Structure 1
């Protein structure tokens, strides 16, 4: 297995790190994603809020959604697989 490069040239980046200056980022609130030519953004509405964003490129699509973790004491449990 090849080790992941963490030289700052390819990411992933932390919000405190500078981004590559030639790459424009789209601010989706909690996410900053690279603006890629030819990619169409399709927001998925959930009531008054955007619940997901789908990126479409040619015949491919990628959907990003954010979820918050359950807080302690809310009756939810997690099990490791």
Structure 2
């Protein structure tokens, strides 16, 4: 029974990280908090030039960090 305790504690820690985090999907796959943080940090880190961005990534940025939209290229219009 003691082998279950570390697994339970790990699950609780993981669940705690998800609380308050939106569930976002990229190309049908759910993104974890680490992946969302990575996207945010890459945009914040000051890429000198972002020439193109996936529309789904743009949507994630719009919903979660609208203040970073100015760092993205203009939306393509067809």
Q: TM-score range by the shorter chain?
A: under 0.3
TM-score normalised by L of structure 2: 0.25
Higher relative contact order (CA 8 A, sep 6+): 2
Q: Which protein has the bigger helix share?
A: 2
Q: Which protein has the bigger strand share?
A: 1
